[in-house]
């Protein structure tokens, strides 16, 4: 080992953990892409902001009774994105396909929410056995928006029609158009609104989702940070009032982390619109999910 190997390392690595790929179960991948974004751009700066924030978060999780310093984790860096959404998603799908084939669990950091389509394209035939649970203020099921058929407002419809996961559950919804609502009803897509979460409570919602996904082989989780109320995550692309609190999100999403989970993403942190709160919160969410996954894996 050279002195450079011994004393020098990349500073902006998520949580400061960098295991060899062959010894890692979890793989961080940044996708600094926001070319189809509307209202507020800047999610392309999200991956590095989240990485920087993660270096200042303590490593022990009281939720999982696990220390993230013990995670078999590697940060691959950022995808070489294109200004063309299709090209970017095609590249992302190729990278994720390799990771899935090596039985790695990708943690994709956006960037805009469109990237979830690219990740799931990498699943190939496994998608038909996969339950997709999305935490988002929006349904993102328009047919087109501002002349684009492929964008952060349409990608969930494309996932439903082209990737065809076994089931889709949207959680924390509160901002949609009638076209999306009608499409969701017609296609059997379950919606749990933020208002329902407050009225029912986390335990009932957790049990509902667990029951709905109990028969599927795989689970993929996607967290758009705008599912949180802007009081907790002001630095997002499309903030919506009446969101859920951070603890409610963590209570629900961590309860879904088991050995069937094959990957997750955190998207749409837009750091130029706040003083770091949203990036810190996103980092905490990633660490809590990772700790829940690894603790469950070690106990099974």
Q: Residue 123 is part of which domain span?
A: 3-299
Q: For residue 108, which of 38, 50, 35 has the smallest C-alpha distance?
A: 50
pLDDT at residue 1, as a whole number: 57
Q: For residue 29, which of 85, 98, 95 has the smallest C-alpha distance?
A: 95
pLDDT at residue 128, as a whole number: 82
Q: For residue 53, which of 237, 289, 286 has the smallest C-alpha distance?
A: 286
pLDDT at residue 299, as a whole number: 84
pLDDT at residue 20, as a whole number: 92
Cα 241 to Cα 62: distance, rounded to the nearest angstrom: 29
- How many structural domains comprise the chain? 1
Who contacts 66 (Cβ-Cβ below 8 Å, separation ≥6)? 60, 291, 292, 294, 295
User: Tell me, what CATH number does 60's domain have?
Assistant: 3.40.800.10
- At 151, is the secondary structure helix, strand, or coil? coil
Cα 294 to Cα 109: distance, rounded to the nearest angstrom: 19
For the chain, helix, strand, coil in percent to 5 are: 45, 20, 35
pLDDT at residue 126, as a whole number: 79
pTM of the predicted model, to two decimals? 0.95
* pLDDT by 10-residue block (mean), the chain, 300 residues: 62 88 96 93 97 95 95 95 94 95 96 97 86 97 87 95 96 96 97 98 97 96 98 97 98 97 98 96 98 90
Q: For residue 33, which of 127, 142, 119 has the smallest C-alpha distance?
A: 119
Dihedral pair phi/psi, residue 254, rounded to 5°: -70, -30
Cα 115 to Cα 148: distance, rounded to the nearest angstrom: 15
Q: Which helix (H) or strand (E) holds 182?
A: helix 178-186
Q: For residue 79, which of 65, 69, 68, 93 has the smallest C-alpha distance?
A: 93
pLDDT at residue 148, as a whole number: 81
Cα 270 to Cα 253: distance, rounded to the nearest angstrom: 22
Give residue-wise pLDDT tens across range 175-229. Answer: 999 999 999 999 999 999 999 999 999 999 999 999 999 999 999 999 999 999 9
Longest CA–CA span in the chain (Å) reads 62
pLDDT at residue 204, as a whole number: 97
């Amino acid at each position: 080992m050279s002195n450079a190997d011994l004393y020098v390392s990349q500073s902006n690595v998520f949580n400061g953990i960098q295991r060899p790929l062959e010894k890692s179960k979890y793989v961080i991948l940044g996708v600094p892409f926001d070319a189809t974004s509307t209202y507020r751009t800047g999610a392309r700066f999200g991956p590095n902001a989240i990485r920087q924030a993660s270096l200042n978060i303590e490593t022990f999780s009281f939720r999982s009774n696990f220390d993230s310093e013990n995670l078999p984790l590697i940060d691959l860096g950022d995808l070489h994105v294109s200004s063309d959404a299709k090209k970017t998603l095609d590249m992302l799908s190729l990278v994720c396909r390799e990771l899935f084939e090596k039985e790695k669990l990708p943690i994709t950091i956006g960037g805009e929410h469109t990237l979830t389509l690219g990740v799931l394209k990498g699943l190939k035939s496994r998608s038909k056995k996969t339950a997709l649970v999305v935490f988002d203020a929006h349904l993102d099921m328009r047919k087109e928006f501002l002349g684009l058929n492929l964008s952060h407002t349409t990608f969930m419809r494309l996932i439903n029609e082209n990737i065809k996961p076994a089931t889709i559950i949207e959680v924390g919804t509160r901002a949609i158009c009638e076209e999306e609502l009608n499409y969701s009803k017609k296609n059997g897509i379950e919606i749990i609104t933020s208002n329902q979460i407050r009225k029912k409570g986390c335990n009932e919602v957790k049990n509902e989702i667990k029951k709905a996904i109990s028969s599927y082989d795989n689970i993929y989780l996607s967290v758009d940070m705008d599912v949180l109320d802007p009081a907790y995550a002001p630095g997002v692309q499309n903030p919506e009032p009446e969101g859920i609190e951070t603890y409610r999100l963590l209570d629900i999403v961590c309860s879904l982390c088991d050995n069937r989970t094959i990957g997750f993403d955190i998207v749409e942190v837009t750091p130029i619109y706040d003083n770091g709160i949203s990036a810190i919160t996103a980092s905490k969410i990633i660490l809590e999910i990772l700790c829940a996954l690894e603790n469950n894996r070690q106990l099974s």
